[in-house]
Amino acid sequence: MLSGSEAFGAGLGGLVEALARNRGTALIALGAVGFLCLAFLSLRTRPPRYRRGRFLSQNEKRFLCALDEAVGEDYRVFAQVRLADLLDVDAGPREPRRWRAMRPVFGKSVDFVICAAATLEPAAAIEVDDRTHLLSHRQERDVFVNTVFAEIGLPLLRVSARRSYSASAVRKMLADGGVDCGSARTGFKAMERL
């Protein structure tokens, strides 16, 4: 009885003998092996291809339409704004301290930022909280984001996700939070979290 390695060697030797007798089959087999090797290597070295992603969820799109109508021409609404674009760190001249302070902020964004149309100064931010905000890691993120907004003094409104929104209901919600959407002169007043 042959051991495993001897059987493999005998099988391989038999294959080589058969291929040596039939050169056409040998060339086809060699070409197939070469093609498979090249295909495998190209899969390993080729970077993944990009495809278009989702910019806003359907719920966020519906809310944005109502929000745009609610704030009118006095304000502009920006979607998916990075936290890093809304704040800076007072860390002094030491770059490592600044980097450590900014690291938790990178990769985080808020759903909407409302800015005064004339100056483009941020006046408030809005998060539309859907069911994902019930997950523990999202709750930790929300606590961090709430803390950051309190520290930088920019009001953050939290809105529960709904199937539909009306501009009048959004306008009332903003007014209940202290936002005056009717006058460019008064702008946003101090808002409380909803």
What confidence score (pLDDT) does residue 13 get? 63
- One digit per residue, the tens of pLDDT, for the chain of length 194 reads 545 455 445 555 665 666 567 767 666 777 777 677 666 666 666 777 888 988 899 999 999 999 999 998 989 999 999 999 999 888 666 778 888 888 899 989 999 999 989 999 998 899 998 887 777 888 999 999 999 999 999 989 999 888 899 999 888 877 776 667 764 333 333 333 33
C-alpha angle with apex 98: 93 to 102, nearest 5 degrees? 160
Rounded distance between C-alpha atoms, residue 82 and residue 102, angstroms:
12
For helices 167-176 and 58-71, the axis angle rounded to 10 degrees is 70
What confidence score (pLDDT) does residue 171 get? 85
Neighbours of 40 (CB within 10 A): 10
What confidence score (pLDDT) does residue 114 get? 92
Burial of 79 (0-12, 13-18, 19+ CB in 10 A): middle
What confidence score (pLDDT) does residue 4 get? 47
What confidence score (pLDDT) does residue 145 get? 95
Tokens in use for 166? 């009306």
What confidence score (pLDDT) does residue 99 get? 83
DSSP state, 47? Answer: P
Q: What is the pTM of this model?
A: 0.66
- Outline where 22-160 has alpha helix (H): 23-45, 58-71, 95-102, 136-152
Map out the domains of the chain as residue ranges: 4-45, 58-176
Rounded distance between C-alpha atoms, residue 69 and residue 75, angstroms:
10
